[in-house]
A and B are shown apart, each in its own frame.
Chain A
Amino acid sequence: MSATTAPRVETPFQRFVSEFFASKLAVVGLVVISAIILVAVLAPWIAPQDPYDLAVLDIMDGRLEPGSQGGSGITYWLGTDDQGRDMLSGIMYGLRISLLVGVGSAVLAAAVGATLGLLAAYVGGKTDTVIMRLVDLQLSFPAILAALMILAFLGKGIMNVVFAIVVVEWAYYARTVRGNALVERQREYIEAARCLALPPRRILFGHLLPNCLPPLIVVATMQIARAIALEATLSFLGLGVPITEPSLGLLISNGYEYMLSGKYWISFYPGIALLVTIVAINLVGDQLRDVLNPRLKK
């Protein structure tokens, strides 16, 4: 912002940026994620077809091979599904739902988990024991099982899937934040804040939380990838999103029955989109972990 060009001290954020961009793989991941987000956001404007508009769909174009031309002159680059829906458009719209569920549930889980983790570390005693026992219990059951249990009772639906993922994932955040907060709690600035008789809420969220952010961000990145994969798996099993809001997992599931007759593309391409998304997020997450890990700092 300032016009002076005097040599400036590198801010921590600038150092973080330059360290992050040191890995080519992570940069590729970041570029891919940005492209995917852009496609998902812009889907209604850039998709060749509106897959929800039944007036556009031509059932005669059902199950066409990739690259074939439809009755209305449109080229289906990735083929069509049984309803004559353009797969490319379907994937673009599916990405919206997959990303929304993945990011939304990961952020919610982060809010719940971080709050409980902070409380456990700051209050200690019985609160700490109870919260950490819950964490242990949660982590000793596989994610798929816990999610299955919740959806068996609640039934399908986007909000139910989000709720299930939050229940599955909050424990990871709570454990990470608690571990970090236990260390930070001993620092002078917390003591100073306490001597100023600040309300506990302000100490927790104004002072403790910002200093626990780096590991929280790393966990959140990884958990977004996990959430997207979990949602896809649940939707594939028929327990996730409803057919009116097809995510990538549901698209793959739709192609399942046509797979045995050799019509691979209905399941194949949504799977590739899912795979690329997950791998790209993991690549970025890996690099974030290396850069933000204080133990690896010189």
Chain B
Amino acid sequence: MALYLIRRLMQSGFVLIAMSLLVFLGVYAVGDPVEILISPDADQEERERAVRALGLDLPLWHQYLVFLGRALQGDLGRSFVFNEPAIQLILQRMPATLELAFGAMFISVLIGLPLGLYAGLRPDGRLSKTIMAGSILGFSLPSFWVGLMLIMLFAVQLGWLPSTGRGETAMLFGIRWSFLTGDGLAHILLPAINLSLFKISLVIRLTRAGVRETMLMDYVKFARAKGLTPFRVTFVHVFKNIMIPVVTVLGLELGGTIAFSVVTESVFAWPGMGKLIIDSINVLDRPVIVAYLMMIVLMFIVINLLVDLVYTLLDPRVRLEGKA
């Protein structure tokens, strides 16, 4: 196990270094680094001084090592627009994004699980067929457009919910959260629904497949033969067993949800890190772009590592494969 862990950690480290090299090349080699790192209104002399101070006269490999060294100390440059350390900017906006992503996860379970359960228990019913057709639509609808339509329907036409922003926030552990106030909840509802559409479809399909498989198992047949009520069979015997794949897949989807919130945040002007990166790309605030990319890559590597480790703990077959 220790050996596997070390190997896996080394792999992750390798991926991280490879990605940092890519990001470095993208910013420092493709674009003109002087333009990126020095404010445009600096004069010639100032420029040269800055070039030397930033080490841009050094060979590229040397520059990369310097970049890597700074990144390891948590220094990824300062934003041109906000004149704050880029990392700090991103960390400030992270709670809003996490809140949205978890809200979307919650909604997808809340809606997807009962619908999937129904479709699995009555696979030939008319309603089940409608649910399954709807889930196909959830996969192919362009999410940003659905977001616009939600705004149009619920915010503009009906006027029930606010269209953009985060609303009132309340402090908890020194961080501002929207879900703690009524106004904040009203603001988060539409974006969270929009972000959850794809995942609702996913949960419906997983649950339905799980229910249909589990219903054929001997222990379910036995439970029914014992004369247990259908309610007890469904919610105790079947439900417990289908939760494992659903929870696993949702855990895997968390990273994707955070990444995809870029789109939802842009539609609903939700002030999270996704909106920040889009704005930064549009004004070419490169330090923030680099910092965002490095942070999100790091996050993905950690999530992938955790998932692999949890699998190893749960499933001994993976462990054996790792040793071979």
Contact = CB atoms under 8 A, between A and B. Distances in A.
Contact of B142 (A140, A238, A275): A275
28 contacts: A137-B15, A141-B259, A142-B259, A144-B259, A144-B260, A148-B262, A148-B277, A149-B26, A149-B293, A152-B277, A152-B293, A153-B30, A154-B30, A232-B142, A232-B144, A232-B145, A233-B142, A236-B145, A237-B266, A238-B282, A255-B148, A259-B152, A259-B156, A260-B151, A260-B156, A268-B149, A279-B137, A282-B136
B296 interface: yes
Main SS class of interface, A: helix
A152 to B, nearest CB: 5
Nearest to A261: B156
A252 interface: yes
A225 B199 CA distance: 19
Interface of A: 137, 140-142, 144-145, 148-149, 151-154, 225, 229, 232-233, 236-239, 249, 252, 255-256, 259-262, 264, 267-268, 271, 274-275, 278-279, 282
Contacts of B260: 142, 144
A137 B296 CA distance: 14
B304 interface: yes
Which one of B137, B266, B267, B281 has the highest number of Cβ atoms from chain A below 10 Å of its Cβ?
B281
B289 A152 contact: yes
B220 to A, nearest CB: 27
A279 B152 contact: no
Interface size classification for chain B: 35 or more
B263 interface: yes
A153 B31 contact: yes
A264 B152 contact: yes
B281 A278 contact: no
Which among B27, B137, B148, B267 has the highest number of chain A CB atoms within 10 Å?
B148
A252 B267 CA distance: 11
Contact of B144 (A145, A252, A264): A252
A-B pairs with lowest CB-CB distance, top 3: A153-B26, A271-B145, A145-B259
Interface in B92-151: 136-137, 139-145, 148-149, 151
A170 to B, nearest CB: 16
Contacts of A278: 140, 142
Contacts of A148: 262, 277, 281
A13 B95 CA distance: 56
Interface in B250-307: 255-256, 259-260, 262-263, 266-267, 277-278, 281-282, 289, 293, 296-297, 300, 304
B39 interface: no
B120 to A, nearest CB: 20
B148 A262 contact: no
Nearest to B303: A140
B305 to A, nearest CB: 11
B85 to A, nearest CB: 19
A151 B281 contact: yes
A97 to B, nearest CB: 15
A140 B304 contact: yes
Contact of A274 (B142, B157, B256, B293): B142
A142 B255 contact: yes
